[in-house]
């Protein structure tokens, strides 16, 4: 498949359909959120593209973890809500239940359609 064909398809190399794509990226997200809970920058950065992780140095990552982790605690459940198709990316949305959070937390991550290995291009937890 050419790059243009990959980008034109809804999920590109992430899968032939939403279910396949979600299955691939869900495993990445569980590991990334666990690394975030453990303040494990090395593990977290191994799940992200160089372009994304270059924007977050280890000190910033640890500081963010130290701010968020007491309020959220470990992930209890991550429930898939859907995806948004972008030109070269797919943005996935989950609702997360975290041990210490009274409310559900929105977790959004983007993955490139053209990459053979799903790596986080962008992540937001709120």
- What ranges do the domains of the chain cover? 3-125
To the nearest whole number, what is the mean pLDDT of the chain?
94
β-strand partners of 125: 107
C-alpha 112/C-alpha 12 separation (Å) is 8
pTM: 0.91
**Mean pLDDT in residue range 11-34:** 94
Fold of the domain spanning 3-125: Nuclear Transport Factor 2; Chain: A, (3.10.450)
C-alpha 61/C-alpha 67 separation (Å) is 10
Q: What is the pLDDT of residues 41-59, one digit of tens each?
A: 999 999 999 999 999 999 9
Task: Give the model's pLDDT for residue 120.
Answer: 97
Per DSSP, the three-state class of 72 is helix
């Amino acid at each position: 498949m050419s790059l243009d064909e990959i980008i034109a398809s809804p999920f590109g190399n992430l899968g032939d359909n939403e279910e396949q794509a979600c299955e691939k990226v869900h495993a990445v997200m569980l590991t990334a959120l666990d690394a975030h809970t453990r303040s494990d920058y090395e593990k977290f950065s191994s799940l992200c593209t160089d372009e994304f992780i270059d924007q977050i140095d280890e000190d910033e990552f640890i500081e963010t973890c130290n701010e968020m982790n007491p309020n959220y605690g470990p992930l209890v459940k991550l429930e898939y809500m859907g995806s948004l198709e972008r030109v070269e990316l797919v943005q996935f949305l989950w609702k997360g239940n975290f041990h210490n959070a009274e409310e559900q937390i929105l977790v959004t991550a983007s993955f490139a359609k053209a990459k053979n290995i799903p790596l986080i291009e962008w992540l937001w937890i709120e």
